[in-house]
Structure 1
Amino acid sequence: MIENKHCADLTQLERPNMDALRGAIGYALRRAQLSAFEDLIHALEEVDLRPAYFSVLYVISENPGLNQSEISTALGIQRTNFVTMVDNLEKQGLIVRQPAKRDRRSHALHLTPKGIAVFNRARDLHTEHEARLIEKLGPNGREQLLPLLWRIADE
C-alpha cells in the first residue's frame, strides 16, 4: 500500500493541477496559438518562411503597391521590425521596393516572380494548415470561433 501511495504522489507531481489556468481565456488562447503556430511553422518550412513573413507576402499579393507603413499598420507590426522583414524578403528575392506613385519618399512593395511562386506554394501549405485546424474544431467550429476571437481582438 505504501508503494501505491508513493506512485500516486509521483503521478500527481508529474501532472500538476491546471484547472484554474485551463479555465482562463488568455491561457487557453495562448496555448491554442502556440499549437497553431507550431503547425504553421512546420508547414511553411518547405518554402523557408515564418508565419509573419507569410502574412507580409499575403498582404502584398492582395494589395500590390501598398507602402511599407500601410502594410506594417495593417498587420500590427512595429515599423522598425517591419523594415528588417522587408530587407530580408528583398534579399531573398521575394519582393521589390519601388518608388510609391503617391509619395516618392516611400516605397511601394511588389512581389517578384520568385515571390509569386513562393507565395503561391506557401498559400497552399497554409490552406492545408487551416484544414487541420478546422478538423480539430469540428463541424461549425470555425464559424463559431472566428467571431469570438475577433470580438476579443477588436480594440
Structure 2
Amino acid sequence: MRREQPSTQEAADDRTDALRTEATSSIVGYRLRRAQLSVFQRFLTVFESLALRPVEYTVLVLIADNPGRKQTEIAEVLGVKRANFVPLVHGLEQRGLVERVPSDFDKRANALHLTQEGEAFLAHARQVHEDMEQELVARLGGEKARKTLIELLDRLT
C-alpha cells in the first residue's frame, strides 16, 4: 500500500523542532568557514562606502608596510596567483591608490608604492578596520580571547 505524501505546507506545519545540525556544528573546518563568512560579511558591510574588498585592503596594507616590494612578493605572501594579482593591482592603480614603478633591482619587475591619495585612503580605511576589529574582539570576549584565537588558528597553518 502506497503512503500518501503530505503536501509541502502540511510537512512544514508538522515540523516544530529545529533543523538538526550537531553533525556539522562540531566540525572545525565547518565552524571556521562559518566564522570567516560572518567576518567577511561584516567587512563588506563596513567597507561598502569605500568600495574596498578584503583582499584589496590587505594588499594596500602590505604595500604601505613594504613600499617598493615587487608585485610577485606581495602576491606570494597572500597566496594569490600572478594572473589574479595583476588585475587586482591594476584596479587599485586605476583608482589612484597604487603606482607601479620599475624595480631598482630588477627592471623586469614592478615595485609597488602607495600614491599620496592611497596613503590618505588607507589611513581612513585602517581606522574603519580598527573599529571593526575592536567590535569583533568584544564579541570574542576581549583581548585575551583574541590572543587565544590567534594562537589556535596559527596551529592550523
TM-score, structure 2 normalization: 0.89
Distance 1:147 1:113, change over 3 A: same
Per the TM alignment, residue 117 of structure 1 is displaced from its structure 2 partner at its CA by 1.1
Distance 1:9 1:115, change over 3 A: same
- Structure 2: state its 5+ residue gaps: 1-10
Equivalent residue number for residue 150 of structure 1: 154
Per the TM alignment, residue 79 of structure 1 is displaced from its structure 2 partner at its CA by 1.1
Equivalent residue number for residue 15 of structure 2: 10
The within-5 A match list for 1:1-155 is 9-12=14-17, 15-139=18-142, 140-153=144-157
Contact preservation (8 Å) 1:47, 1:121: no
Q: Deviations over 1:84-108 (max 9, x none)?
A: 1011011111100000011000000
Q: Specify which structure has the bigger relative contact order, considering alpha-carbon pairs within 8 angstroms and separated by 6 or more residues.
A: 1
Q: Which has the larger radius of gyration?
A: 2
User: Greater helix share, 1 or 2?
Assistant: 1
Per the TM alignment, residue 132 of structure 1 is displaced from its structure 2 partner at its CA by 1.1
Report the 3-state secondary structure (helix = DSSP H, G, I; strand = E; otherwise coil) of the residue aligned with 2:67.
coil
**Equivalent residues, number:** 146
Q: Deviations over 1:29-80 (max 9, x none)?
A: 0000000011111111121110100000000000000010000001111111
Cα distance in structure 2, aligned partners of 1:121 and 1:45: 13
Amino-acid identity (%)? 41
- Structure 1: state its 5+ residue gaps: 1-5
TM-score, structure 1 normalization: 0.90
